Amino acid sequence: MLRPFKISEDEKAPEKRLCLKRARRGHGPNEAGVNPLSSPIDCYMACWTWGAYLGADALTKGVDIGVSSWTRIAPNTLPAMSKAAANYMNSQLIRMEASFNGYAEGIALDSGGHVSEGSGMNVFLVNDGVLYTPPLATSILPGITRDSVVKMAEDLKIPVKETVIPREMLYIVDEVFFVGTAVEITPIRSVDHIQVGKGIAGPITRRLQEEFFAITSGTKPDRHNWLTPVNAPVSAASR
């Protein structure tokens, strides 16, 4: 049951600013136990500015990451393809461990020991000019940015393979990078203290970054209709 709702505006939005928009849907009060079926469904949408998720220099200089001791949720435990709040307990463990170990982020393996994803972002590898990314069967979230990167790679004639990736491939490929709403396209310069390629953003990572930011900033046509302008009134005080 969806609870009746109205659109409210708590703050005036600034003009032409890129913001992170998150829609939330969950069960409200009624049932104190674990069966939510009798509880109404609440929805809200939050919008706020968010700086560089992994640090100011992450997009240009890359980040150091480590393979987590926490595996991604196994199939038939929780639905990994769902962007559900419960799944983020697993993500928090991965991220906290990475922080304790001095890394900017962690990469989790799936229950079979194959590369899955970061705590809240998908991962791509580049080797010999080919782009690789783990498939849905490795307990990943099918991210919107992941899909966008695949489409951009196809537009740029970069071969893409969705395939199971063994852990050791992280240490021998030419490039590795994260993609996601918050991280955008962030190069990875080392994995478990092992340098990736030349230790800087590789040519394919940079090419995809340039294309991504050109489209999202409006300097290139939005040929895939990814962008949705939100026209909100701006108060005189905020101008």
In the chain, where are the structural domains located? 1-50, 58-217
The model's pTM is: 0.84
Distance CA 88, CA 202 (A): 30
pLDDT in tens, 76-124: 898 889 888 888 999 999 999 999 999 999 999 999 999 999 999 999 9
Dihedrals phi, psi of 75, to nearest 5 degrees: -55, 145
Is CATH 3.20.10.10 the classification given to domain 58-217? yes
- Is 83 annotated in the active site? yes
- Give 135-156 pLDDT, tens digit per residue: 999 999 999 999 999 999 999 9
> Which member of 83, 157, 161, 220 is catalytic?
83
